[in-house]
Structure 1
Amino acid sequence: MSVLHSLPCALPTGALPADAAANADNISEAFASKLSTLSPDSLAKDAIWRDMFAVTGSLRTFYGAEACLAQWRHFHPKAATGSFKYRSSSAKVVAVGPAATWLECSYTFQAEAKPKRDCLAIVSLVYDGEKGEWVVWMVRTVLDQLSGHPNVDHYMPDTTANLPKEDQTQTRFECVVIGGGQAGLSVAGRLAALGVSYVLLEKNKAVGDNWRHRYKSTKLHTTRESSHLPFDRTFPESYPEYLTKNDLATGYSEWAKKFNINIWLDTSLQSGGWLADSQSWQLDIVREGKNQQVMATHLVMAVGAGCQIPVMPQYPDKSRFRGTILHSGEYVSADAWQGKKGIVVGTANTAHDVAEDMLSAGLSSVTMVQRSPTYVLPAEYYARMLNRIYTPTIPTLISDLGASTTPLGIARLVNRTVLNGMAAQDPERFERLAAAGFKVIRDGDIVYQLFEKFGGHYMDVGASGKIAAGFIKIKSDAGIARYSEDGLVLEDDSKIEADVIIYATGFVGNMRNSVRDLFGDEVAGRVEDFWGIDAEGEIKGAFKPSGHPHLWLHGGTCGQARFFSRFIAMQIRAELDGTPLFNAQE
């Protein structure tokens, strides 16, 4: 059963007083005094508390008034929290769908226990009509900054402080980051902001090559404004709304230069070991073709989500097929197949991209083989949601604090309410798809797809219209039985002719496997699985201690890479200072 579906949470349904918006500041100001000493009367029965390293020292989510209050009373004295102050003019009424409304406001507070830290509390209040007073439905406590340290969210590089690009000879670092994609770049920049000695190792020869080398039609299916790296707007309005792979590569390269990121290109980690006596990592690398060894106190793995092993279905008579068979992981472009017949097996994001690419390359026929119903989310629906939060005028950090601090169980309910409501107002779009033979799920669950299933949906940026119009054909009523000389034979004995077959059937894996390949079973045995949802509704293995000392796993979407990198950097800074955040859990 899906963990997300089982989380005990719901959107509030009670109405707010008519004067709630007008009195929002007064209501929120008055509530500040209650936060230090929450009582049962201050909480809704279905209250939720999510802490992001502010109070518990980790990522935790608690459900129900009784659990929230018990954990609040346990952790707040340990963290020595206090000085809750309302952030003037932060209060606003939030409405989701026709029924769910609440008053959202934010507060600053201090955690005086080491490491001393500045924190934020984002509180969602609902009105209890029986009590005749405001109560907490949801509270999100967030580590803002480590007191006495530079701001993790702002960085202007001092070029004299970084290693000279022409003489990068240092071999011992406080942190080594592996992987130069959005996750690795983000955490490297944050480490630099906090004064941590670091190096970023990237196997490719240029920043951005991790995107530049993907298949020709690769593009983001989320908006430009939600896709920046830390510190600035990496992609100004001169970039398109949906960034291509080359846009991303260019933006990343320019960002790395602007912030003087200490990156060793054409450098790959071959193996390494944990030295328990010195509490450090010994890393064997190949840098520009030469073997080298570096030492690190901390290690951040940012090598992708770990799903690197292609899923390649096996069917009888493969040797009979006279054409080309590829997995999407090997796919680059359809340009060489003009005039030929193509099949794409699979119907998630990559499958649609490949089918569109085949169509634009001039293949004589393009057929998608659908193996199971697919959630189709029109990109403009999702953009409407994102564009309310991520705009050219709102600082990206402010947007992240609104979007990325919400518990995933609640984010799921909000997304379902809004997105499925849009779909209900646009039935013809999905009916046309269904008429073309596409088995479409229109009332899906994007949070489940992204964070628990890890894909399998299609964010529609145009291919659905081509399917509805018949330009891309669909075969969804029978599974694949075997190959023939000129295509595939299906279980209903029908045939699809093809010169080329692309399997867009996904990948399996786990970043824990990458850890095992590099460091062996002993290290990997202590590391949590990476990705999926734990019992509290948090992402497994990511952004917090991995289970092995001084080893951190980082990845995810552009937004996750950007926002959660701040917490990894602050945790590493705190450990280097001898005051680790996770001590707050003990």
Structure 2
Amino acid sequence: MTPDPIQIASSWLQQYGYSLASGDSEGTASCFQPDGFLRDILVFTWNNRTLKGHEKITAYLGDTLRSTCITAVELETRHGLVPESGGFHAQLISPVAETVSAGFTFRCKVGRGQGYFVLIPTDAGEWKAISVMMQLADISGHEEWILEEGVYGGHTLSWTDVDRERRQAIEKNPYVLIVGAGHTGLNLAAKFRHMNIPSLVVESNLRVGDNWRKRYPTLTLHTPKVYTELLYQSFPQTWPIYAPRDKIADWLEQYVQSQDLVVWTNSRPLPSPTFDITSRRWTVVIDHAGQQVTLNPAHIVVAAGAFGEPNIPVIDNKEAFGGPVMHYADYNGAKPFAGKKVVVVGAGNTSADICQDLSFHGAESVTMVQRSATYVIAVTSVREMLEPLYHEGFGTDVADFRLIAQPMGLLQQKAKQSEALLLEQQKETHKGLREAGYHLITDQSLFSLFQGGYGGYSLDVGCAELIRSGKVKIKHGVEVARLGENSVVFTDGSSLEADTVILATSFKSIRDKMRGLFGDEIIDQTSPVWGLDDEGEIRGCYRPSGHPGLWFAAGEFFTSRARTKQLALEIKAIELGLLKL
């Protein structure tokens, strides 16, 4: 018989809710499969944690469950969160798994919560959770708001005057200073505004969006548009599936206006901010278009991306080389290199895009230096993986919630199980790459490479065929040792004639870059930024950094959109005295 998802979900949730409300940690853990996951985001502790297995779940809840005071556990009624069988969550377990999944709501000591569970049957036929996520949604009395009436002072004040006064108050005394007006910083600023957290964003570029405009001209996103939206504001129906560089830049710029964000461009914090442990306030001097302004925010959020300064490998004898040697941050298109012999160091997404650009615009030769193996997958395959979650059937907020509900360990499990199918889909592409001397990663998933290190992969949009045909040549397993007047010499002693060297060698950690701003004493107290901790949670981002009042925010569009509420709630909890760091 086909399982009734409503009956199964209701029955399980009744038992789970009773155990939570009773403060029974062992009873709560018994609602899980022996290898089930509990993901907690600010409910039982003011952090994000993932626990696997009955023993760890019981121990984690043992000290906090009663004091959290969980009540009013009920099934969700929103579209996309009502009980369902199979679908995306069945694929997380195995292609043939029976699953029932649903969202739920609850109350806790500090406010309102929301959760999501995925159930599978045991050998005895009982439905138990393979994963449960519980997330604080709002603090009572300080809920996120969405709409204003739009009429001010009993219809006696103009919006222009209201907006000016609000901006002046924030500019004079921001509670939070956000460094960086990319998609992460702007998502944060928008969320903070709707959580009544006065926030000022400082951006070093002359215009919002210049961090995209300065990148190479053929850059487009490799994820579809519904995955790359910003908070509160969907793209137009006519927006391209894969957004080009300049459309993203312009969208960020208009987002500042449409969301009423306070942003200072041509502005940057100067070394060295100081934190007063008594007042819990920073003293930071901002170079605001050449004028020095002293601010005293309670929090500084570094949202300048996961990466900092260009990573330039050590190469001997660079000064002897007759042509340009540039990091891809300075690459502005292939036209100047028509008829040139170009060596591109690196084999990730950016290198592939640049090699494709150079080949199309008539470079005499293009050689990609692949220093280690790379994971390659067609961009269309990535779109197919995301479509079950991100489609027009329900909003981005529901899709984000369903995805963030999945523990990293379960997603990694799914990635391993689907890897054979993905490799089969790439079979012909991979065959051609190997024949051309390109080395492939096949024992790790795209997911684990992205979450673990933000690199080591290439989402193919055409460069693989150029490699296969020989239009882009491969030099594998070596580093650039030194340069001659018109040659590149590698660590194996071989050499290539070259007119230009482009370093597609990524960037250093933004945390390391921040040493120049905050100093070693402060940064040494913070966690590494990005990568996964032992529980499968992203390190150092959207959670306490290790130093009071200092936070890091990073990630692609989904991560920075879905995680902003967590950071907003942590900062609001500190303001209210609920959390002390």
Q: TM-score, normalised by structure 1?
A: 0.89
SS at match of 2:387: helix
Indicate the residue corresponding to 1:60 in structure 2: 49
Task: Kindly state the Cα deviation for residue 138 of structure 1 after the two structures are TM-superposed.
Answer: 1.2
SS at match of 2:298: strand
Indicate the residue corresponding to 1:569 in structure 2: 568
Amino acid at match of 1:175: V
CA distance in 1, matches of 2:170, 2:188: 22
CA distance in 1, matches of 2:200, 2:510: 24
CA distance in 2, matches of 1:330, 1:340: 18
Indicate the residue corresponding to 2:24 in structure 1: none
Q: What is the 5 A alignment of 1:344-359?
A: 344-359=344-359
> Given that residues 543 and 553 in structure 1 are in contact (C-alpha distance below 8 angstroms), is that contact kept between their aligned partners in structure 2?
yes
Indicate the residue corresponding to 2:36 in structure 1: 47
- Deviations, residues 432-470 of structure 1 (Å, cap 9, x unaligned): 111222112345312221121221211112211221222
Indicate the residue corresponding to 2:225 in structure 1: 224
Greater shift after overlay, 155-164 or 420-429? 155-164
Q: What is the 5 A alignment of 1:269-288?
A: 269-271=269-271, 272-288=273-289
Task: Kindly state the Cα deviation for residue 168 of structure 1 after the two structures are TM-superposed.
Answer: 7.4
Greater shift after overlay, 340-349 or 416-425? 416-425
Indicate the residue corresponding to 1:518 in structure 2: 517
Q: What is the 5 A alignment of 1:300-315?
A: 300-315=301-316
CA distance in 2, matches of 1:45, 1:251: 47
> Given that residues 122 and 128 in structure 2 are in contact (C-alpha distance below 8 angstroms), is that contact kept between their aligned partners in structure 1?
yes
CA distance in 1, matches of 2:28, 2:299: 41
Alignment pair present for 1:364 and 2:364: yes
Amino acid at match of 2:547: H
- Deviations, residues 118-157 of structure 1 (Å, cap 9, x unaligned): 1112111111123x311122111112222223426x3559
Greater shift after overlay, 401-410 or 521-530? 521-530
Indicate the residue corresponding to 1:95 in structure 2: 90
- Deviations, residues 144-187 of structure 1 (Å, cap 9, x unaligned): 222223426x3559656544599678421221111101111011
Q: 1:119 aligns with which of 113, 116, 129?
A: 113
Q: What is the 5 A alignment of 1:419-458?
A: 419-442=419-442, 444-458=444-458
Amino acid at match of 2:70: T
Indicate the residue corresponding to 1:34 in structure 2: 15
SS at match of 1:308: strand
Amino acid at match of 2:67: K
Q: What is the 5 A alignment of 1:3-402?
A: 18-20=1-3, 23-36=4-17, 37=19, 38-39=27-28, 41-88=30-77, 89-93=82-86, 94-96=89-91, 97-111=94-108, 113=109, 116-130=110-124, 132-151=125-144, 154=146, 159=159, 161-163=162-164, 170-233=171-234, 235-271=235-271, 272-315=273-316, 317-402=317-402
Task: Kindly state the Cα deviation for residue 348 of structure 1 after the two structures are TM-superposed.
Answer: 0.8
Amino acid at match of 1:295: N
Amino acid at match of 2:16: L
Per the alignment, do residues 466 and 237 of structure 1 end up closer, same or farther by CA in structure 2, a change over 3 Å counting?
A: farther
Amino acid at match of 2:486: D
Task: Kindly state the Cα deviation for residue 475 of structure 1 after the two structures are TM-superposed.
Answer: 2.2
Amino acid at match of 2:2: D
- Deviations, residues 507-536 of structure 1 (Å, cap 9, x unaligned): 22242x344322333322322221222121
- Deviations, residues 452-499 of structure 1 (Å, cap 9, x unaligned): 122121111221122122221222266545433322244666542221
Q: What is the 5 A alignment of 1:537-548?
A: 537-548=536-547
SS at match of 1:362: coil
- Deviations, residues 45-86 of structure 1 (Å, cap 9, x unaligned): 112111111232210011111211232343221211121111
Which blocks of at least 5 consecutive residues in structure 2 are unaligned? Answer: 20-26, 151-158
Per the alignment, do residues 376 and 293 of structure 1 end up closer, same or farther by CA in structure 2, a change over 3 Å counting?
A: same
- Deviations, residues 398-441 of structure 1 (Å, cap 9, x unaligned): 01011123211221222333354132244112111112221123
Indicate the residue corresponding to 2:534 in structure 1: 535
Greater shift after overlay, 433-442 or 25-34? 433-442
Per the alignment, do residues 251 and 170 of structure 1 end up closer, same or farther by CA in structure 2, a change over 3 Å counting?
A: closer
Indicate the residue corresponding to 1:550 in structure 2: 549
Indicate the residue corresponding to 2:156 in structure 1: none
Amino acid at match of 2:560: A
> Given that residues 119 and 127 in structure 2 are in contact (C-alpha distance below 8 angstroms), is that contact kept between their aligned partners in structure 1?
yes
CA distance in 2, matches of 1:181, 1:126: 40
Amino acid at match of 1:392: E
CA distance in 2, matches of 1:515, 1:475: 35
Per the alignment, do residues 494 and 198 of structure 1 end up closer, same or farther by CA in structure 2, a change over 3 Å counting?
A: closer
Task: Kindly state the Cα deviation for residue 277 of structure 1 after the two structures are TM-superposed.
Answer: 2.4
Task: Kindly state the Cα deviation for residue 32 of structure 1 after the two structures are TM-superposed.
Answer: 1.8
CA distance in 2, matches of 1:243, 1:402: 24
- Deviations, residues 298-323 of structure 1 (Å, cap 9, x unaligned): 221112214424131424x4444322
CA distance in 2, matches of 1:487, 1:501: 10
Greater shift after overlay, 480-489 or 392-401? 480-489
Task: Kindly state the Cα deviation for residue 236 of structure 1 after the two structures are TM-superposed.
Answer: 2.3
> Given that residues 29 and 57 in structure 2 are in contact (C-alpha distance below 8 angstroms), is that contact kept between their aligned partners in structure 1?
no
Name the structure, 1 or 2, with higher relative contact order (CA <8 Å, separation 6+): 1
Task: Kindly state the Cα deviation for residue 551 of structure 1 after the two structures are TM-superposed.
Answer: 1.9
> Given that residues 8 and 100 in structure 2 are in contact (C-alpha distance below 8 angstroms), is that contact kept between their aligned partners in structure 1?
no
Amino acid at match of 1:462: G
SS at match of 2:201: strand
CA distance in 2, matches of 1:461, 1:84: 46
CA distance in 2, matches of 1:435, 1:444: 21
Number of positions where the alignment pairs a residue of Structure 1 with one of Structure 2: 555
| CA RMSD across the alignment | 2.3
- Deviations, residues 226-272 of structure 1 (Å, cap 9, x unaligned): 01110121x32322222121111111112111111111111111132
> Given that residues 341 and 364 in structure 1 are in contact (C-alpha distance below 8 angstroms), is that contact kept between their aligned partners in structure 2?
yes
Identity %: 27
SS at match of 1:129: coil
Per the alignment, do residues 471 and 161 of structure 1 end up closer, same or farther by CA in structure 2, a change over 3 Å counting?
A: same
CA distance in 2, matches of 1:467, 1:562: 36
Per the alignment, do residues 381 and 32 of structure 1 end up closer, same or farther by CA in structure 2, a change over 3 Å counting?
A: same
Q: TM-score, normalised by structure 2?
A: 0.90
Indicate the residue corresponding to 1:15 in structure 2: none
